[in-house]
Amino acid sequence: MTDVISMLFWPLSGLVLISIVITVHELGHYWVGRMFGAAVESFSIGFGRSILERTDRRGTRWRLNWMPLGGFVKFVGEMQAPTDTRDDIVTEPESAPRKGKAKPAHPVGRPYTDLNPWKRLAVSLGGPAANFIFAIGVFAAMSMTLGVSQAKEVSVLAVTADSPASRAGFQPGDIVVEAAGRTVSRSYDVTQATQLSAGEAVTYRVQRGNQLVTLTATPKEETVRNEDLQVSEKVGRVGLELAQRDISIRQYNPIEAVGYGITTTGDAVGATVNVLRRLVTGKDGLDKLSGPVGIFNLADKVTDLHLKRENVSFVQKIIDLLISGIQLAALLSIGVGFFNLLPIPVLDGGAAIMCVAEGVTGREIPENVQRIGLTIGLACLASFALLVTGQDLIKLFGWSAGS
């Protein structure tokens, strides 16, 4: 029975995960646009023809489309990608008279092009901002309800012989207080700083007796297998075995929780920036990235991990799965928010640059220039998507260069 349910969850978990994050992103654009009085033609989850649709009292079409990978909000008069259709749609002013609860014949508000460049900049940044706010809210709520694990101290239990750690001077009994400039409150802090820095020197500070010692080690790249999720990844290792003393779970108050949410989201953004930097400098390959196939695969593995546990009630399995799913959605939301800030036409970052250029120069970017930029951006995005999908398939099926 569990296997059957797990199979049913396989497409559902990935679709729900992506749909939540995209909906949050597009709602960010939608609400900022609404705040400035822009007329919204449609709000769509997925692409293609709609399978469910309703029009609200502002003339906006809310659509659920048959291809549930992504989504978009379409403002009246907004420049679109070359592959989209562009209809000449009339808008209706807020003050237009209507009888009773009659729906307007056209979207209520003003065309997107009537907004000044700084307001359009805010609309462009509204999507990524919503993604980050969502993640902060999730982490904050988790810290208040489930609590955060903390250790009295994180110490070195053993040092692998002839490893980067042994050459750096680590000794059993050292208490790690700082890793890569961050205070250590659990072993994960040390592991995270190490895994993300293969081939690059990492500074650690340890308490050794009454002395505070600074040590520098360069993690060596190794392939590590996560047997629970059945995935392999390349990470940095220095050869330390860590131990935690007096682990406790602390539930934060609302103010502490918001701070924790901001810090955790900031750490995730920092890790993403670090991965991007290593990609650009050639220290990491595209196998560090994941696209829709990788997301579906991860969601499937997490689902299996929870549903196939033994001696756990079905209700508890579902609760734990929902908690893990929400955490995954928060992390994916950060990735989507950051990715959309990249200065590439088609993405929000590219639109933001055009708005800033128009605001500074006082001149509107010619439509043909915008279309050329969108075409180039779309081509780059499609090429990138193909590369990442290829890497996802290689990891999924365990292909190698020699196979």
Active site residue ranges: 26
**What CA–CA distance (Å, rounded) separates 298 from 296?**
6
**What CA–CA distance (Å, rounded) separates 373 from 367?**
10
**What CA–CA distance (Å, rounded) separates 292 from 398?**
17
Which distant-in-sequence residues (6+ apart) come within 8 Å of 281 by Cβ? none
**Partner residues linked to 176 by β-bridges:** 206
Which distant-in-sequence residues (6+ apart) come within 8 Å of 155 by Cβ? 173, 174, 175, 176, 242, 243, 244, 245
**What CA–CA distance (Å, rounded) separates 243 from 285?**
32
**What CA–CA distance (Å, rounded) separates 205 from 309?**
39
Q: Are 220 and 233 in contact, with CB atoms under 8 Å apart?
A: no
**What CA–CA distance (Å, rounded) separates 353 from 374?**
13
**Partner residues linked to 240 by β-bridges:** 159
Nearest to 331 by CA among 17, 8, 4, 9: 17
SS3 assignment, position 314: helix
Question: CA 127 → CA 18, 27, 51, distances in Å?
Answer: 15, 7, 25
Angle at 356 between CA 355 and CA 358, to 5 degrees: 65
Q: Are 197 and 219 in contact, with CB atoms under 8 Å apart?
A: yes
CA 6 vs. chain centroid, Å, equals 25
